[in-house]
Amino acid sequence: MNNTCLFRRRAVCTLIFVLATSLAGFASVIGTFDRSFQVSGPVDLEVLTRSGDITVRNGAAGTVTIHAKIQSGNSWFGGDHKAEAQELQSNPPLRQNGNSIRIDYVNINNISIDYEITVPEETAIRAHTGSGNQTIEGVRGNIELESGSGDLKLARLTGDMRFQTGSGNVRGRELAGPAKIKAGSGDIEIEETGAGDMEIRTGSGNINVSGINGGFHAEAGSGDIHGKGVPKSTWSVRTGSGNVTLSVPPDAAFDVDVSSSSGTVTLGHPVTTTVQGRIQEMKKSVVGKVLGGGPMISVHTGSGDVAVD
DSSP string of 61-98, one letter each residue: TTEEEEEEEEEE---TTT---HHHHHHHHHS-SEEEET
Contact yes or no for 95/104 (Cβ under 8 A): yes
How confident is the model at residue 26, as a pLDDT? Answer: 47
What does pLDDT average to in each consecutive run of 10 residues of the chain (309 residues)?
52 43 57 96 96 96 96 62 86 96 91 96 97 97 96 97 95 97 95 95 95 95 94 94 93 91 83 52 75 93 90
How confident is the model at residue 285, as a pLDDT? Answer: 83
Question: Which pTM does this prediction carry?
Answer: 0.85
Q: How far is CA 190 from the centre of its chain?
A: 9
How confident is the model at residue 27, as a pLDDT? Answer: 62
Contact yes or no for 94/100 (Cβ under 8 A): no
Rounded to whole angstroms, how far apart are CA atoms 188 and 185? 10
Contact yes or no for 142/159 (Cβ under 8 A): yes
Report which of 284, 280, 289, 276 is spatially closest to residue 305, judged by C-alpha positions. 284
In the chain, where are the structural domains located?
210-309
Rounded to whole angstroms, how far apart are CA atoms 266 and 308? 6
Rounded to whole angstroms, how far apart are CA atoms 227 and 123? 29
Report which of 241, 181, 183 is spatially closest to residue 209, judged by C-alpha positions. 181
What is the phi-psi region of residue 283: left when phi exceeds 0, alpha when psi lies from -120 to 50, beta otherwise? left
Rounded to whole angstroms, how far apart are CA atoms 300 and 189? 21
How confident is the model at residue 33, as a pLDDT? Answer: 95
The secondary structure element, H or E, covering residue 279 is helix 276-282
Count other C-beta atoms under 10 Å from residue 29's C-beta.
11
Rounded to whole angstroms, how far apart are CA atoms 141 and 158? 6
- Residue 7 buriedness (CB in 10 A; 0-12 / 13-18 / 19+): exposed
One-letter amino acid for residue 210 of the chain: S
Residues 6+ apart with CB under 8 A from 121: 58, 61, 138, 139, 140
Pairing of strands 198-204, 179-185: parallel
Contact yes or no for 169/187 (Cβ under 8 A): yes
Rounded to whole angstroms, how far apart are CA atoms 227 and 214? 12
Report which of 115, 170, 174, 113 is spatially closest to residue 139, judged by C-alpha positions. 174
What is the phi-psi region of residue 223: left when phi exceeds 0, alpha when psi lies from -120 to 50, beta otherwise? left
How confident is the model at residue 126, as a pLDDT? Answer: 98
Per the DSSP assignment, residues forming a β-bridge with 276 are none
